[in-house]
Structure formats: structure tokens, C-alpha cells
Amino acid sequence: DTGVSQNPRHKITKRGQNVTFRCDPISEHNRLYWYRQTLGQGPEFLTYFQNEAQLEKSRLLSDRFSAERPKGSFSTLEIQRTEQGDSAMYLCASSLLGDGGEKLFFGSGTQLSVL
């Protein structure tokens, strides 16, 4: 499978717990993005990496959120002390920086439910 892979597909947690999601991008892609999508809305940008460097973070990304991309390969998104408002679909996307525009390839997402 050469697509973007995300794990887990679903996560149910209690408020206050920490959760971590993983994203494996398409292997030759150097850019990796995290988005959040709630029901009836378009995806909202959270952060992105170029190789291992985290280059941009949205103001949506509070201090409880942290993302890493060690060695420029897979990435993890951790949410500490989850709140009910964190319930959403978390989407990962990857792309290859080039001249032909930035076509993002999205994973299937991790659906987070905070009880």
C-alpha cells in the first residue's frame, strides 16, 4: 500500500486522558500535514513538517497539542489532557514539494471521541 496510513482509525477516550495518533506518509513525500475536521466543516490546518522540521503551527494548536516527525518519516500527534471539544477527525496528509503545485494526499483519518 503506497498511500498515507493513519492509526488508529478510531479512538474513544475519557476527558483528561492523553492520546497519540500516528501517520505514515507516502515514502518519498517530504511534507506532512495535520488537519482537524469536525462534522459539516472543511478540514482545518493544524501544523506541517518539511522533512523533520516543524515549520508552521496554527493558532488552533494549543499547548496541549504536540506533533513530531522524527527522522522525517512517520509523524505523531499527541493531545494531552483531552477535552470534549477535541472530538473530531484528525487527518494527516503528505505531499512532495515541487513546481507542479502542492497536491495533498490524505489518509483515512483518526476519529477521536472524548467522553
Residues that bind another protein (CB under 8 A): 31, 33, 35, 40-45, 48, 55-56, 58, 91, 93, 95, 97, 100-109
> Which residue, 20 or 58, has its beta carbon nearer to another protein?
58
> Which residue, 14 or 99, has its beta carbon nearer to another protein?
99
Minimum distance between the CB of residue 63 and another protein, rounded to whole angstroms?
19
Minimum distance between the CB of residue 50 and another protein, rounded to whole angstroms?
8
Minimum distance between the CB of residue 48 and another protein, rounded to whole angstroms?
6
Residues 6+ apart with CB under 8 A from 54: 47, 48, 67, 68, 69
Question: DSSP strand E in the chain: where?
Answer: 5-7, 10-13, 19-24, 31-37, 44-50, 53-57, 65-68, 75-79, 88-95, 105-106, 110-114
